[in-house]
Amino acid sequence: MISIPARGRNRISFRIERRLHVEPKRDALMRLLGLAGGLLLVGIVLQATGRHTLSLLGDVTNATFGRTQFGQRLGLQETGVIATPILLDAIAVAIALRMKLWNIGVEGQFLMGAWAATGVGIHLNTSKPLLLFLMAMAGVAGGAAWILIPAIARAYFKVNEIITTLLLQRPARRLHHPARARSLLLVGVPGQPVGL
């Protein structure tokens, strides 16, 4: 219970409590109010720093929903391209946290999954639906193989998973470097140079 003293006998008080069941209308209203409050706060900060809030809002809206100079609408697609890895990483972290595990190095697992999926996509010549399915399975297998190292270290040697998952991000990034990844993934593809 939080009480805010006021003059005289009247005091303003409110209580912050966790609610397990909230009506959907109230939940939607609270989310919309939170969004509006966040936009208002950002607008105030932008105005205070000398930027024109409404012109920036117009630019963002036009970049997201408007057309490019070639008549294409790519704003939502680009937002999806940027947001998808972040959302997938967030889901992986949330699942681990439900099991009381800290998966800090989820970016490395994502990169290794992407690396495996790219390898399958380059080397297999099959129908698109089957290829997409196989790429997804290879991505899952690549990420799972990368998290297997910290999982074994925790299960058998009691090594903290925060350390091992975090330390395994760097090797994944180094393998994911464009030149190194190109030379490793294109091995056996006709007309491509071989070597690291």
**H/E stretch holding 2:** strand 2-4
HSE, CB side, 13 Å, CA atoms: give it for residue 76. Answer: 5
Instruction: Classify residue 133: in a domain, yes or no.
Output: yes
Domain membership flag for residue 129? yes
Task: Tell me whether residue 136 is in a domain.
Answer: yes
CA-CA distance, 137 to 35, in Å (whole number)? 37
DSSP-assigned letter for residue 74: -
Give the 3-state secondary structure percentages of the chain, helix then strand then coil, rounded to 5. Answer: 65, 5, 30
Assign 64 a pLDDT band (cuts: 50, 70, 90): confident
Of 21, 22, 23, 2, give the one whose Cα is nearest residue 11: 2
User: Residue 190 falls within a domain, yes or no?
Assistant: no
pLDDT in tens, 125-142: 999 999 999 999 999 999
Q: Which residue has the tokens 């209580």?
A: 15
pLDDT score for 144: 95
Domain count across the chain: 1
The alpha carbon of 169 is separated from its chain's Cα centroid by a whole number of angstroms, namely: 15
Nearest one of 44, 18, 182 to 115, comparing CA atoms: 182
Q: Residue 194 — very low, low, confident or very high, per pLDDT cuts 50/70/90?
A: very low
Question: Please, what is the average pLDDT of the chain?
Answer: 85
In a domain, 50, yes or no: no
Would residue 116 count as lying in a domain? yes
**The tokens 């005289």 sit on which residue?**
8
Output the CA torsion sign for 175, 176, 180, 183.
positive
The pLDDT confidence band at residue 66, using thresholds 50, 70 and 90, is confident
Question: Would 165 be classed as within a structural domain?
Answer: yes
In a domain, 13, yes or no: no
**With 80 as the cut, is the pLDDT of residue 161 above it?**
yes
The residue segments making up the domain with residue 152 are 102-185
Please check the confidence at residue 117 and state whether its pLDDT lies above 90: yes
Handedness of CA 88, 93, 97, 99 (dihedral sign): positive
